[in-house]
A and B are shown apart, each in its own frame.
Chain A
């Protein structure tokens, strides 16, 4: 077993403004924290691939399909980068990806709701990839884990392309009435889902090792604001109605719906009329956001099965030989 360093070693190194480069510089707490945030990043990138592929099949032209496949290929590459970093931290990469239970994958609930149309893919690129971009840009600016920061140079450029793909297609689709209608329909369920993407509000975060150890720089609520500061103007510039606005008095974006809310995933519909629901402890109806996240959604099992199937088949074939 590798001898990890004491907390004081990590703290001294960070206060000197130096990066943590490998296991030999980590304390158990730092190792545990960096593995957690890398897991979320890797799993999110990986699960976006089957989620986007489902909608890519609705591409209007061959070139559009190639664009979507380019994005999917990028996402798999980003997942590989994060899993590869975890391998250097003692994680068995193959077992971690191919033998894990679907429910233990750590990625935003949004990818469990099927994207079925090209319009939904465009909005996903413009909203979900923007969320990923905001999160990873913050990690790039603030992380204390050197190898991740260097790897994110490539990731950031590619995520920028995904964003632009989403924006370009949203602009194209918004030029006629039917296109704008389909965009509005997608925005209505995808906007609140992306607002939720950034996790628990700061008021409910009891300890925040991610900030303390500089795995990231902005809090969940700050990241949510950063995301809205570009997502809202984009949608408004296309004539779409967005359930959020910038409040001059509060100097921040304010949501115009109860947050968090109950979501009917099968209908892709938010039940705003039922009012705000709890984040953690279920209410009298047994509903909370955390419970929905933990139960995962419709596509979780199917997507993980798709990703693990090929590996299982090859292993079985090799065993037979």
Chain B
């Protein structure tokens, strides 16, 4: 399930945007533009964040360290004390999940051919 951006609170949107700082394992593209972040849920009272995250394949070799990078980035936020990753496989990732920037980067590298 992909979170509707309109459902995000202002703080959740800020945290979502902060994940532009986390890079994909191979390409010069961040995990948001890559379309890997399906949702960000922030509990202000408990100061915890749950990130709905997917990967381009179930056997993604970078699954662990990209999750760690997401956690590490959000833990730098003053009002965040705990981050957990909820790995989501439905809907499966496909190239329609890429942002416009993501499409441009991967097109340049010849990784995808956009019709």
Contacts and interface: CB of A to CB of B under 8 A. Distances in A.
Given A157-B27, A160-B26, A164-B25, A66 B65 contact: no
Interface stretch (B36-44, B56-64, B74-82, B91-99): B56-64
A153 interface: yes
Contacts of B25: 161, 164
Contacts of A188: none
A122 B65 CA distance: 13
A161 B68 CA distance: 15
A168 B65 contact: yes
B69 to A, nearest CB: 8
Interface residues of B, number: 14
Interface of B: 25-27, 59-65, 68-69, 109-110
A138 interface: no
Given A153-B109, A153-B110, A158 B26 contact: yes
Contacts of B63: 63, 66-67
A69 interface: yes
Interface residues of A, number: 19
A31 interface: no
A15 B103 CA distance: 37
Nearest to B69: A168
Interface string A65-95: 0111111000000000000000000000000
A165 interface: yes
B87 to A, nearest CB: 11
A61 B64 contact: yes
A70 B27 CA distance: 16
A153 B63 CA distance: 23
B37 to A, nearest CB: 19
A158 B27 CA distance: 9
Nearest to A160: B26
